[in-house]
């Protein structure tokens, strides 16, 4: 039986991912703040270290796949929680579990990004650079500056998009070394997906109208199960030559928004 570790396993895409892997016969070790095998707060360094230790206790010397689903949206306060979970909560566990993945069977890891990460401007953001430098305190400081200069609404968008953009870059930075050592690493960039997180975004007067007005060529929100299906494929032997890629699963939003970019 293969062993899969999933963060954010208690709800949304993480819960659907857990269900899909279990349906395929995997043993799933979930990590979340509640209703999981490992209870850990990934917004803190201590929580991330506890999660890694918990995986080692549950799984011994190896795991076969790791999926980083835990994430926070723009409505979360304080803003510092967004990069702490979205970026550091994924990267610290990726790096912390790498040695266990190396010992797994056909090992692979997937991180959940966002199609919004693809829309970041190409100029270098100090916030993104702080994340890539793994400087959590500096990232928090920069977000405070953004909030003071631009207000909470714009700053929350920068916090979210930047965290997902940096995560995608960090993934690709690791692809060469991970591939040489036999571990595949990919990302999935969902669009608007019918989850509790999306419901809260829709209820937020600052963001709801913008999300509802977004043009989706397939004319509907995605389902968590549809995202989980792509995640499972990327972790399976069927995707044995897919590595360092970011797969957009958004019903055509990105193609509609950036038709000349791919």
Residues 6+ positions from 243 with CB-CB distance below 8 Å: 175, 178, 179, 184, 185, 186
Helix 224-235 / helix 12-23 crossing angle, nearest 10 deg: 50
Are β-strands 108-112 and 65-68 bridged in parallel, bridged antiparallel, or unpaired?
Answer: parallel
Q: How many CA atoms lie within 13 A of 215 on its CB side?
A: 6
Separation between Cα atoms, residue 61 and residue 99, nearest integer Å: 8
Separation between Cα atoms, residue 34 and residue 132, nearest integer Å: 29
| Structural domains present in the chain | 3-116+168-252 (3.40.50.720)
pLDDT of amino acid 206? 83
Rg (CA), the chain: 17
Catalytic site residue 160? yes
Separation between Cα atoms, residue 185 and residue 141, nearest integer Å: 30
Q: What is the mean pLDDT of each run of 10 residues along the chain (262 residues)?
A: 97 99 99 99 99 97 98 97 99 99 98 94 89 98 96 95 97 98 99 95 88 95 99 99 99 97 90
pLDDT of amino acid 182? 98
Q: Which of 87, 146, 160, 232 is catalytic?
A: 160
CB 27 within 8 A of CB 1: yes
- pTM summary value: 0.96
Separation between Cα atoms, residue 106 and residue 210, nearest integer Å: 41
CB 83 within 8 A of CB 162: yes
């Amino acid at each position: 039986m293969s062993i899969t570790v999933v963060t954010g396993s208690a709800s949304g895409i993480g819960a659907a991912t857990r269900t899909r892997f279990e349906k395929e016969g995997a043993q799933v070790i979930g990590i979340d703040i509640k209703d999981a095998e490992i209870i850990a707060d990934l917004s803190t360094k201590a929580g991330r270290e506890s999660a890694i230790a918990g995986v080692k206790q549950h799984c011994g010397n190896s795991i076969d796949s790791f999926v980083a689903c835990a994430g926070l949206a723009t409505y979360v306060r304080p803003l510092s929680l967004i990069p702490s979970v979205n970026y550091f909560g994924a990267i610290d566990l990726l790096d912390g579990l790498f040695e266990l993945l190396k010992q797994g069977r056909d090992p692979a890891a997937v991180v959940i990004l966002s199609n919004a990460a693809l829309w970041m401007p190409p100029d270098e953001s100090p916030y993104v650079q702080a994340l890539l430098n793994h400087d959590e305190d500096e990232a928090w400081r920069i977000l405070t500056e953004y909030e003071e200069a631009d207000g909470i609404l714009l700053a929350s968008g920068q916090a979210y998009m930047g965290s997902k953009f940096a995560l995608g870059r960090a993934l690709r930075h690791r692809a060469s070394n991970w591939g040489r050592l036999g571990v595949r690493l990919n990302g999935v960039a969902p669009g608007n997906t019918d989850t509790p997180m999306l419901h809260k975004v829709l209820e937020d007067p600052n963001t709801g109208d913008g999300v509802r007005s977004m043009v989706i060529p397939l004319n509907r929100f995605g389902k968590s199960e549809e995202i989980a299906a792509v995640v499972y494929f990327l972790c399976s032997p069927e995707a044995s030559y897919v590595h360092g890629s970011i797969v957009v699963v958004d019903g055509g939003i990105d193609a509609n928004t950036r038709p000349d970019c791919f």
